[in-house]
């Protein structure tokens, strides 16, 4: 089974801090990398899908980069707000058109 | 109001009983998926279906069965052969199942086997 690693497991930051998480994956057989945000008592919702080496995506204060050759993706949150508190999941598609998820990074933003 | 519905939200069953979890979508999506989450772990793929009347085993299919007789429905049966069925189950769908397609998730069903 494919191993998708996320670090750190959890993170506590103060409101206004910028933060970043890492998703690591085997670089062979890469087709697409997905990032999802999962807030407590809600369903996971998609943030980004990246398919090309060097891809950079941005949505408001959240951005992501992708390096398929070395097998990692970074998710950045600029100026964290309490509403950013959630678990951030990355997931890999190796071409089977189904996702393998990492265990997530749980972010808590203190006001 | 388009989306994915899963019912019930909480389900309790006695050990040794089969139980079927419902997943319905009205997004007109071709592909549907079932995941399981255990504490401290990510989502693990149980089964997926790219098209009606076809489905594939995911990473942890043992003890589970599915059917895809209608485009909008993808029920999951947790059989008595599943050794640790207590978990949170999430259903998802995507437009065409292509690698770049976003998956949309339902609210989940928490199954507890007593």
Predicted confidence band of residue A95 (pLDDT cuts 50, 70, 90) = confident
Q: Which residues of A touch B100 (CB under 8 A)?
A: 32, 49, 51
Find the mean pLDDT for residues B77-103.
Answer: 90
Q: What's the average model confidence in pLDDT over B16-42?
A: 93
| Cβ–Cβ < 8 Å for A103, B41 | yes
> pLDDT by residue (tens digit) across B36-60?
999 888 899 999 999 999 999 999 9
Residue among B33, B40, B103 minimizing CB distance to A103: B40
Q: How far apart are CA A90 and CA A105, in angstroms?
A: 9
Tell me what the mean pLDDT of segment B69-90 comes to: 95
pLDDT surpassing 80 at residue A31: yes
Please say if the pLDDT value at position B93 is more than 90.
yes
Residues B2 and B72 sit within 8 Å (Cβ to Cβ)? no
CB A9 within 8 A of CB A103: yes
Per-chain mean pLDDT for chain B: 93
**Strand, coil or helix: A83:** helix
The pLDDT value recorded for residue A24 is: 96
pLDDT at residue A37, as a whole number: 97
- Nearest CA-CA distance, residue B40 and chain A, Å: 7
pLDDT band at A59 (very low <50, low <70, confident <90, very high): very high
pLDDT at A29 over 90: no
Which residues are paired to A88 by β-bridges? A37, A105
Comparing A46 with B98, which gets the higher pLDDT? A46
Look at the block and give the residue holding tokens 């209608």: B70
Dihedral sign for Cα atoms in the order B73, B79, B82, B86: positive
Q: Which residues of B75-110 are buried (b: 16+ CB within 10 A; e: fewer)?
A: bbebeeebeebebebbbbbbeebebebebbbbebbe
pLDDT at residue number A1: 66
Residue A78 has pLDDT above 90, yes or no: yes
pLDDT of residue B6: 96
pLDDT number for residue B114: 87
CA-CA-CA-CA dihedral for A42, B44, B96, B49, to nearest 10: -120
CB A8 within 8 A of CB A106: no
Kindly determine whether residue A104 and residue B42, on different chains, have CB atoms separated by under 8 Å: yes
Mean pLDDT across B25-39? 95
Assess B21–A contact: CB distance below 8 Å, yes or no.
no
Query: What whole-number distance in Å separates Cα of residue B45 and Cα of residue B50?
Result: 14
């Amino acid at each position: 089974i494919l191993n998708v690693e996320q670090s750190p497991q959890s993170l506590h930051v103060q409101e206004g801090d910028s933060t970043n998480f890492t998703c690591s994956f085997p670089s062979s057989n890469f087709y697409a990398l997905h990032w999802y945000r999962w807030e407590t008592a809600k369903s996971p919702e998609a943030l980004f899908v990246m398919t090309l080496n060097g891809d950079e995506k941005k949505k408001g204060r959240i951005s992501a980069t992708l390096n398929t050759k070395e097998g990692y993706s970074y998710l950045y949150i600029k100026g964290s707000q309490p509403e950013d508190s959630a678990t951030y999941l990355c997931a890999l598609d190796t071409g089977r058109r189904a996702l393998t998820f990492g265990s997530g990074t749980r972010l808590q933003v203190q006001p | 109001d388009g989306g994915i519905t899963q019912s019930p939200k909480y389900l309790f069953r006695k050990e040794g009983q089969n139980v079927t979890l419902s997943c319905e979508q009205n997004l007109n999506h071709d592909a549907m998926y079932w995941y399981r989450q255990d504490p401290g772990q990510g989502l693990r793929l149980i089964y997926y279906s790219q098209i009606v009347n076809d489905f594939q085993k995911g990473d942890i299919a043992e003890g589970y069965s599915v059917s895809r007789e209608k485009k909008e429905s993808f029920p999951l049966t947790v059989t008595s052969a599943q050794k640790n069925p207590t978990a949170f189950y999430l259903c998802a769908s995507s437009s065409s199942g292509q690698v770049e397609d976003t998956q949309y998730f339902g609210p989940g069903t928490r199954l507890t086997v007593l």
